[in-house]
Amino acid sequence: MTGRAAPEDLDWLREREFIVGSTIATEPGTRFALPARSSILDLHLPVPGVLDIGLAAAAQMKARRDLRLRPLGAIFAALGQREVIPEPASPTDFLKLAAAFYRARRYFPAIDQCLVRGLAMKRLLDRQGLQADFVIGVKLPFSAHCWIQVDDTVLTDPIDVVLPFEQILVI
């Protein structure tokens, strides 16, 4: 087993409607993020302020509520819908927000919260005009994970957490 899905595996998942539409990265025209090579969490993160941690926590509470009340497709469709094209930024421009989300893990444990955390961080980055990718990946035997990435740098997780996953959707 190589850890990569064979085309017949993807067909099997489509037939059973585990995956639908054009969200699979093997289809033409699907956007990819660069392969992850580093994590911002490996850098020396600044100590976030209480307000920044509160903002990260509030954004995660809102994301959790939205995931209960709104269809996932509608939530994803709203991500990254900005009229103004943001200026290019480097991963170090994201340190403050990454540090706040990392510290907020004390109140929102990281286990099984990648969708909530990723959605919350992507929304805050969009609001600040910072361009980042919301990436969803899968691995076999089946498990899924999502993370926020700028160029080849992951903002939400250590690098070893995301490396086993193959991208299937980038927003």
Task: Evaluate if residue 142 carries a pLDDT over 90.
Answer: no
pLDDT of residue 71: 92
Q: What is the mean pLDDT of residues 62-85?
A: 83
Task: Evaluate if residue 135 carries a pLDDT over 50.
Answer: yes
Task: Evaluate if residue 121 carries a pLDDT over 50.
Answer: yes
Alpha-carbon span 114 to 119, nearest angstrom: 8
Give the model confidence (pLDDT) of 10-45 as tens digits: 677 667 666 654 444 445 455 778 899 999 998 889
* 65 vs 82 pLDDT, higher one: 65
Which long-range contacts link 86-94 to residues 24+ away (Cβ below 8 Å)? Answer: 86/129, 86/130, 86/131, 87/129, 88/131, 89/130, 89/131, 89/150, 90/150, 91/38, 91/40, 91/150, 91/151, 91/153, 91/155, 92/43, 93/130, 94/40, 94/125, 94/130, 94/132, 94/150, 94/155
